[in-house]
A and B are shown apart, each in its own frame.
Chain A
Amino acid sequence: MTEKFNTVQTGGALKEVSAPATPRSVAHRGGDANPSVAALEIQFPGSVLRSQVVWGETTVYITPSSVPDVMRWLHDDPDQRYDYLSDLTAVEYRDYEEPLEVVWHLRSLPFRRFLRVKAAIPRGAPLAIPSVWGIWKAADWMERECYDMFGIVFEGHPDLRRILMWEQYREGFPLRKDFPLRGRFSRAEQLRQALAQNIESRYSMEELTIADAFEDLPPDMRKRLSTGERTGE
């Protein structure tokens, strides 16, 4: 009774890409590297720091400043075509000497390739890295979440603000290793802050300006708006 579907057997890959199979008996280190790594090393000799294959997954380490060029090339090059951003996140290690790493998981749907790209932000340097929002719109919320949880600023993101925590959240960045599991403030302080919240701020300042609701606002909020204030910032 349903409409006819284009049912497919093999997925969106190119015809010459062989049918994949479940990986079995994968070695801990070594194995076949993703061919994109060799191409990257030729294309960006100074930017690719090293690569490794762990449990059959290839990881490339690049310098933070080269992120926009490398990502743009991986996305656009006809032999790579990493058109799908699976995941974007960051890793902070328990060892405080280790740098904080930003991780991109890329997929090339036509070539059925999977590539993990990492860029390390050294300790002491400002936590900032170029955004890939202009290449994959999927990065929008993932970068916001990464900023929210780790405090990494994605330069070039159009709307980088907290997403899971509320805008007035003042305790820091929860997934950092120096953040205690129960939060930074005491329960009493958390309660005090919750009770002291401005209930008007359930709408953010940006939302109020877009709606031309200016006339309906209480006088104090109108004053804050006219000075260009943003909620919680």
Chain B
Amino acid sequence: MASGNRTVEVELSTTGLDAQGRPQRVPLVVNDGGTALDIAPPPELEADHMLINIGPQHPATHGVLRLVLELDGETVVRCIPHIGYLHCGFEKMGEYRQYNQIIPWTDREDYLNSIGNNVAFALGAERLFGIDITERCEVLRVIAAELSRIISHLVWVGTTCIDIGAYTPFLWSFQERERVYDLLEAWVGARLTTSATRVGGMAADIPSGWMDGLRNFIKTFPITVDEIDRILTRNGIWVGRTIGLGVMTPDEAINYGLSGPMLRASGVDYDVRKDFPYLGYETYDFDVPVGTNGDVYDRYLVRMEEMRQSVRILKQAADRLPEGPVNVDDARVILPPKSKATSEMESMIHHFKQVMEGPRPPIGESYVAVESPKGEKGYYMVSDGTAKPVRWRIRPPSFVNLSAIPKMVEGHLLSDVIAINASIDIVMGEIDR
């Protein structure tokens, strides 16, 4: 952890332009607490603490999150989060459904990462069935997971900008997000609720010409990232409103179970893709960005860099996509082709039993975690040999990350609560499930 004062160069057009015609950079010196130096502390006032309620219907809480704050003046003394307004009982319903029927629910928990959740769930179910997926399917799933990481981080950048008071990057990032959704729509027919995977494969192979669209996106998308980078990273307001806020030390971050960019911004280089690989991620060449200060600004930097690394992975995946079947050749889980199911008696019976009774995994359990944009997303499934899981558990990264919010906001100003809350990247659908 850095200690003492920290200096970031910010661009201020009021101080004039440099030789290249860009706003001149001036050093902004902040102390450990993130406040600019040389500001006199407020006078001690005799007053009662105030109880303030944010949410559950508030645009800056990113969903139906409710925070009850005890304020001393403008400083947060205590924060009590309330969740559960979006509780749907996905885990309970999953105990009454076959494995393939659960996949649509994985779309709807973390709805910014729906196709990534589909991939994660299918991986968990496949371990329970003891299935190794085909090479082509692995690469397609890597493409799906990384596209979905880009979507989620774009939404994060856009909405956080709005929370902090910048509108333009929101428009840019949502424009790029639409392009990814166009790609997903061309692939699986849906934009937000994709339900793209099946146990043992994918719902569909990519259509012809799809790769050209992906290559075009890979080529042009980094330009937008650079533009957002240029408008925010050295922006005096952005830096001033994000730096030094919600600091978590590495030990605290691990102990609180933070994951994803939240953990890595604190300087802990734990990425499920590197440490517990899946889908052959160990064969891709990419870096894991790690911050040093563990504040909101570092979380922003980590997420921006992760988008660039995702583009690197997408490039390699597009180059290596092998020919061959997408679905495994395993009659336990895969439906017969439609032409056979309508012409042969055996295939029709197979199809009927597969749909009505569902595939049955052997007795056992599996916990498969993937690196979702929010952090470690785990699916824990327990099978008793029937077609429906005994227990289906989602390990939601946002839920655990949000549980540290009292620790992060206490001692900060009320306006900083919005920035810190935004930096967690919560999706209430995943937290309440």
Contact = CB atoms under 8 A, between A and B. Distances in A.
A185 B432 CA distance: 22
Nearest to A180: B92
Nearest to A175: B92
A173 to B, nearest CB: 11
Contacts of B348: none
Contacts of B27: none
B68 A8 contact: no
B70 interface: yes
Main secondary structure of the interface of A (DSSP, over half): loop
A39 interface: no
B136 interface: no
A91 B392 CA distance: 9
Interface of B: 48-51, 53, 68, 70, 78, 80, 83-84, 87, 89, 91-93, 96, 127-128, 130, 132, 226, 229-230, 233-234, 252, 254-257, 267-271, 274-282, 287-292, 301-302, 304-305, 362, 364-367, 369, 376, 378, 380, 382, 384, 390-391, 393, 395, 399-400, 402-404, 407, 432-433
A109 to B, nearest CB: 5
Interface string A1-42: 111011111111100000111101110100000000000000
Contact of A137 (B255, B366, B382): B255
B378 A28 contact: no
In order of increasing CB-CB distance, the 10 nearest A-B pairs are: A138-B257, A211-B51, A7-B287, A141-B403, A11-B275, A164-B84, A11-B274, A87-B395, A8-B269, A164-B87
A203 B51 contact: yes
A166 B382 contact: no
Nearest to B56: A202
A207 interface: yes
26 contacts: A1-B230, A2-B229, A3-B233, A5-B290, A8-B274, A13-B275, A28-B362, A57-B366, A83-B254, A94-B384, A94-B390, A103-B380, A105-B378, A107-B276, A109-B270, A138-B257, A140-B403, A141-B402, A145-B399, A162-B84, A163-B83, A164-B432, A166-B84, A175-B91, A181-B96, A211-B51
Given A57-B366, A109-B268, A174-B92, A142 B274 contact: no
Contacts of A55: 127-128, 130, 364-366
Contacts of B48: 211-212
A91 B84 contact: no
Contact of A210 (B70, B130, B376): B70
B289 A26 contact: no
A116 B230 contact: no
A208 interface: yes
A10 B282 CA distance: 9
A87 B380 contact: yes
Most buried by A among B132, B276, B366: B276
B380 A22 contact: no
A24 B403 CA distance: 35
Nearest to B402: A141
A87 B257 CA distance: 9
Contacts of B128: 55
A230 B424 CA distance: 31
Nearest to A145: B399
Interface of A: 1-3, 5-13, 19-22, 24-26, 28, 54-57, 59, 83-87, 89, 91-95, 103, 105, 107, 109, 112, 114, 116, 136-142, 145, 149, 162-166, 174-175, 179, 181, 203, 206-208, 210-213
A136 B257 contact: yes
Contact of A5 (B53, B255, B305): B305
Contact of A8 (B91, B257, B287, B432): B287
Contact of A105 (B270, B305, B364, B380): B380
B403 A22 contact: no
B51 A181 contact: no
B249 to A, nearest CB: 13
A41 B234 CA distance: 55
B422 to A, nearest CB: 19
Given A20-B277, A55-B127, A141-B399, A89 B255 contact: no
Contact of B275 (A94, A95, A112, A164): A112
A138 to B, nearest CB: 3
Contacts of A179: 92
A91 B391 contact: yes
A21 B275 CA distance: 9
A197 B360 CA distance: 45
B364 A28 contact: yes
Interface centre among B130, B403, B404 (most CB of A within 10 A): B403
B230 A138 contact: no
A203 B68 contact: yes
B49 A89 contact: no
B108 to A, nearest CB: 16
A92 B400 CA distance: 23
A84 B127 contact: no
Given A1-B230, A85-B257, A93 B390 contact: yes
Nearest to A21: B282
Question: B48, B70, B380, B391: which has the most chain A beta carbons within 10 Å?
Answer: B391
A142 B124 CA distance: 21
Contacts of A165: 84, 87
